[in-house]
Structure 1
């Protein structure tokens, strides 16, 4: 499925049940562009993708990778999704992964081309979390 934002590939990803309370749309599935990270809730559950297909820089644990990928996608609108990002980052940290370090690595991933600057949003988020 083609992304309307960047013509990249959008795939359906399952939102793990323990993360659904931390996403604004409470959906079981999200369509997520593997290039620009544009997302939308969906009911499409055919051939659910693995979050590791987005970037090798995501954590190995599937649920932690899902939390990190969703939190990164939500950075597109930090003001609207801050509470969700904070909750997802807390989840990632509770699983032994530093979400800010992962953001650093994602910012350097040449395959990702979000419509926002990951590094700038990381800095803004760091200021807000202090």
Structure 2
């Protein structure tokens, strides 16, 4: 599947059960665009162990990667989705991810063209996660 917003490649992943409410469409599966970092609902068959390194070499794997992908998809409206972003980031951190470091690395990668200003959102997120 390609991203409907930018045409980039997407990566399908299973959504951790406790985060289903924060997934696009409230589903058990989602895709993240490896270029613009938007998330979308999907009905396609997914790999239970997706390779999140296709987004960035240091992107977290497993459930941490899934939770961080969901958080990235919610960053366009941080003020309205504060609780959802906090839930996803907290889940990712409990699963071993360093959310803020990953955002720094994504912001500095020219292969990624995020739909939001990651540097600005990172500062806002740092305040939120205190």
| Interval of TM-score (by shorter of Structure 1 and Structure 2) | 0.7 to 0.9
SS of the residue corresponding to residue 79 of structure 1 reads: coil
Asked if 2 retains the 8 angstrom alpha-carbon contact of 1:30 and 1:42, the reply is yes
Task: Write the distance in 1 (CA, Å) between the matches of 2:51 and 2:97.
Answer: 19
Counterpart of 2:52? Answer: 51
Cα deviation for residue 46 of structure 1 reads: 5.0
SS of the residue corresponding to residue 88 of structure 1 reads: helix
The CA deviation string for residues 56-102 of structure 1, in whole angstroms up to 9 with x for no partner, is 12124x11111112212221221332211101111122234321112
Task: Write the distance in 1 (CA, Å) between the matches of 2:46 and 2:63.
Answer: 19
What is the root-mean-square deviation of aligned Cα atoms in Å?
Answer: 2.3
Name structure 2 gaps, 5 residues minimum: none
Name structure 1 gaps, 5 residues minimum: none
CA shift in 2, pair 1:23/1:112, >3 Å: same
